[in-house]
Chain A
C-alpha cells in the first residue's frame, strides 16, 4: 500500500486566497483525521471522520475552515479566505477505527503570505 497520500506537499499563497488540501487515506481504513502542527500550538486535531461522516469538528478554528469526505478514498480541507496565522503543517491520518493506530501522511506545509 502507498500509505496516506497528501497533496500538495508545499503550498505558498497570499492572504485572502482559497487553499484546498487533499488526502487519500489507506484503502480499507474507516477513520480519517486532519491535524495542524505549529511550533506554538503543537499538534492539534481539527476534525475527524468515521465512515465518511464528520464526527467531531470542534477543533476547526473558525468558519474559514471546512472539510469534506465525499467518499472513502478522498478528503479535502479547505481554508477560505486564508490568513498568515494559518501557516502550518497540515497532516492527514487514517486508521481502521477511531481508537486504532493512526497512519500519517507526509503533511502539507502551508505558508500564507
Chain B
C-alpha cells in the first residue's frame, strides 16, 4: 500500500498537554497533508507541507517532515477538549492523488 500509516492508533491525554502523532509512508512524495475528522463529520484540512520543507506551523499545530525517514509528525500544543478527533495524514505519490492513512484517534480529557 502507498498509504500513510499513523502511529499511535489511539492517544488519550489530559487537557493542556501536548499531543504528538506520527505518519510513515513508503514512497517518495511531493506533499503531505494532515486532516482532522470530528465524530460523524467529514475531514477538514489542517496543514500541507511540501517535500522541500522540514517544518511548518499553524497556530497550535506544528508539522515536521523527514523525507529521509519517510515520516512526518503532527504536534498539537496545549491541547483542548475540542481537539478530540481523528487525525489523518495524506500522502501523494508523484503525479498522483493523495492517499489517506488509517488515522490516529485523539481523546483530550478535560
Binding site for B on A (CB under 8 A): 4, 31, 33, 35, 42-43, 45, 48, 55-56, 91, 93, 98-99, 101-107
The interface bits of chain B over 70-91 (1 if a CB of A lies within 8 angstroms of the residue's CB, else 0) are 0000000000000000001010
Checking B31, B40, B45, B88 against A99 with a beta-carbon cut-off of 8 angstroms, the contacting residue is: B31
Q: Within 8 Å CB of A55, what residues of B?
A: 97
Q: Within 8 Å CB of A56, what residues of B?
A: 97
A99 touches B41 (CB 8 A): no
Checking A48, A99, A107 against B42 with a beta-carbon cut-off of 8 angstroms, the contacting residue is: A107
B45 touches A103 (CB 8 A): yes
B102 to chain A, nearest CB (A): 5
Chain A residue at minimal CB-CB distance from B99: A45
Q: Within 8 Å CB of A106, what residues of B?
A: 41-42
Given A33-B97, A91-B42, A98-B96, A43 and B31 touching (CB < 8 A)?
no
The interface bits of chain B over 87-107 (1 if a CB of A lies within 8 angstroms of the residue's CB, else 0) are 010101000111111110000
Binding site for A on B (CB under 8 A): 30-31, 33, 40-45, 48, 88, 90, 92, 96-103
A101 touches B48 (CB 8 A): yes
Chain A residue at minimal CB-CB distance from B47: A101
A91 touches B43 (CB 8 A): yes
Given A43-B88, A91-B43, A104-B42, A99 and B103 touching (CB < 8 A)?
no
B48 touches A98 (CB 8 A): no
Q: Within 8 Å CB of A35, what residues of B?
A: 100
B44 touches A99 (CB 8 A): no
16 additional A-B pairs beyond A101-B48, A104-B42, beta carbons within 8 Å, are: A31-B97, A42-B101, A42-B103, A43-B43, A43-B88, A43-B103, A56-B97, A91-B43, A93-B42, A98-B97, A99-B96, A101-B45, A102-B45, A103-B45, A104-B44, A107-B42
